[in-house]
Amino acid sequence: GESVGLHLPTLSVQEGDNSIINCAYSNSASDYFIWYKQESGKGPQFIIDIRSNMDKRQGQRVTVLLNKTVKHLSLQIAATQPGDSAVYFCAENAGGTSYGKLTFGQGTILTVHP
């Protein structure tokens, strides 16, 4: 049968604004969460990670928040720049014997207008 394409959520912001990208994860046993950025024609690039025993972690211009109660992850990008335009994925790792296995969310398209 015909496959239905994923309709990725989109977020459109102005340069200099703050961006918030959300992700709902599926496995309550997941121990490790990562945000990736994927630009056109490239593989996913690591942005920031967070362990399940934390609820917030900050990097350069980025902050990740983890709410295990509702299985929700968010990525905040401060002072968004045109170079931040890309597809953003959250990924979870359940740990155990599955260290090399990441489960990805559907992705969010971020467009930054100059």
Partner 1 sequence: KAGVTQTPRYLIKTRGQQVTLSCSPISGHRSVSWYQQTPGQGLQFLFEYFSETQRNKGNFPGRFSGRQFSNSRSEMNVSTLELGDSALYLCASMLEPSLYNEQFFGPGTRLTVL
Which residues of the shown chain bind partner 1 in the complex (CB under 8 A)?
3-6, 31-32, 34, 36, 41-46, 49, 51, 89, 91, 93, 95, 97-107
CB of residue 16 vs partner 1: minimum separation in angstroms?
A: 29
Q: Which is nearer to partner 1, 4 or 70 (CB)?
A: 4
Tell me the torsion sign for CA atoms 66, 88, 57, 27. positive
Q: Which is nearer to partner 1, 15 or 55 (CB)?
A: 55
Q: Which is nearer to partner 1, 14 or 97 (CB)?
A: 97
Tell me the torsion sign for CA atoms 66, 7, 110, 14. negative
Task: With beta carbons less than 8 A apart as the criterion, state whether 104 and 27 touch.
Answer: no
CB of residue 107 vs partner 1: minimum separation in angstroms?
A: 7
